[in-house]
């Protein structure tokens, strides 16, 4: 059975090129804080001619990190490896040896009907060689999901494949930049991907198809410095949350606290969620006023929301208001 807390706790997923030689130093000294996840990327951040070198650096880094974790106490993020082809899953797992124990799973880029079976088969076979569960997080960013006349069939086809291994799927991730690239779009720090209708319509369809059964994470935000970058990120996070995204791909440590803050639970939401989930079964009615007497709470229509709020409060905490 899939761990719901784990699915919701990926949160701010910090991307790092797999050939970064300093990542172990940053982690053992907690340079990025103590509430984030980490993606070591072998795909778009690595030149094609440097993949083998990056693989070796990744293996060296993870073995060193595993060794350090045995002798020093520090925050260990959920670590994922973003591969570029199916065969890397088993190959890297075997080469990592005991160090695979600090890896949560693999991120699958440009997940499509053309490569889904290969990635799924590789993941299942690899799990036979390890004692822990290795998960997958597919990214929906392939241009094949753009055309309207085939989009629904493709999305439901992908869902059917993922449903067959749902216990291994932690998150559905979306590639906003790859989809924007197909149209030649790029948003500024004052603009949100939710306002780019051709792109957000695709993201909305992904939420519609997958959002009731999977945690779907928000697309990357490019800005991390300069005037207005943080205001723009907060605005997009508010829209992410309203539309059902949980967590976000980040590309700089500056972005991590803002993502964590966005998923804190308000005092009013927490109190109402507790009230809804502890509804008195002896009451004849299934509706009442909220804890602050400002809105309606209805058990039958708000219980799923309440469960999500409690999970988020355990992971990201509660805000003052």
pLDDT in tens, 239-291: 999 999 999 999 999 999 999 999 999 999 999 999 999 887 666 666 777 77
Count CB-CB contacts under 10 A for residue 70.
7
Give pLDDT tens digits for 29-70. 999 999 999 999 999 889 999 999 999 999 999 999 999 999
Q: Above 60 in pLDDT, residue 1?
A: no
Per the CB < 8 A criterion, the answer to whether 106 and 62 are in contact is no
Residue 108 confidence (pLDDT):
98
Give pLDDT tens digits for 298-310. 888 999 999 999 9
Residue 298 confidence (pLDDT):
85
Residue 287 confidence (pLDDT):
77
Residues in the annotated binding site for Mg(2+): 178
Distance CA 217, CA 240 (A): 9
| Cα angle for residues 264, 265, 269 (degrees, 5° grid) | 165
Distance CA 62, CA 136 (A): 18
Residue 300 confidence (pLDDT):
84
Structural domains in the chain, sorted by start: 4-262 (3.20.20.60), 267-316 (no CATH)
DSSP conformation class of 230: H
**pLDDT band at residue 97 using 50, 70 and 90 as cut-offs:** very high
Residue 124 confidence (pLDDT):
98
Distance CA 46, CA 271 (A): 47
Residues in the annotated binding site: 178
pTM exceeds 0.85, yes or no: yes
Per the CB < 8 A criterion, the answer to whether 205 and 42 are in contact is no
């Amino acid at each position: 059975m899939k761990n719901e807390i784990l699915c919701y706790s990926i949160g701010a997923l910090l991307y790092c090129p797999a050939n970064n030689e300093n990542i172990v130093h940053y982690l053992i000294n907690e340079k990025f804080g103590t509430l984030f996840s980490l993606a070591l990327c072998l795909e778009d951040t690595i030149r094609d001619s440097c993949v083998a070198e990056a693989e070796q650096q990744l293996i060296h880094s993870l073995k060193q990190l595993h060794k350090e974790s045995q002798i020093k106490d520090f925050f260990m993020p959920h670590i994922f490896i973003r591969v570029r082809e199916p065969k890397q899953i088993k190959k890297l797992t075997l080469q990592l040896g005991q160090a695979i124990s600090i890896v949560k799973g693999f991120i699958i880029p440009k997940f499509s009907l053309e490569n889904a079976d290969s990635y799924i088969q590789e993941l299942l076979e690899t799990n036979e060689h390890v004692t822990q569960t290795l998960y997958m997080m597919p990214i929906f960013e392939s241009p094949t999901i753009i055309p309207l006349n085939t989009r629904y069939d493709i999305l439901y086809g992908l869902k059917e494949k993922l449903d067959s291994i749902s216990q291994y799927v932690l998150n559905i991730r979306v590639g906003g930049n790859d989809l924007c690239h197909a149209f030649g779009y790029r948003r500024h720090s004052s603009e949100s991907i939710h306002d780019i209708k051709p792109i957000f319509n695709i993201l909305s369809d992904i939420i519609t198809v997958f959002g009731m059964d999977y945690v779907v994470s928000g697309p990357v935000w490019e800005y991390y410095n300069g005037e207005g970058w943080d205001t723009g990120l907060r605005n997009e996070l508010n829209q992410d949350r309203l539309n059902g995204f949980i967590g976000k791909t980040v590309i700089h440590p500056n972005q991590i606290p803002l993502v964590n803050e966005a998923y804190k639970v308000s005092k009013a939401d927490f109190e109402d969620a507790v009230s809804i989930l502890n509804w008195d079964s002896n009451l004849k009615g299934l509706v009442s006023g909220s804890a602050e007497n400002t809105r309606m709470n209805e058990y039958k229509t708000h219980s799923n929301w309440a469960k999500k709020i409690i999970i988020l409060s355990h992971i990201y905490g509660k805000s003052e208001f």
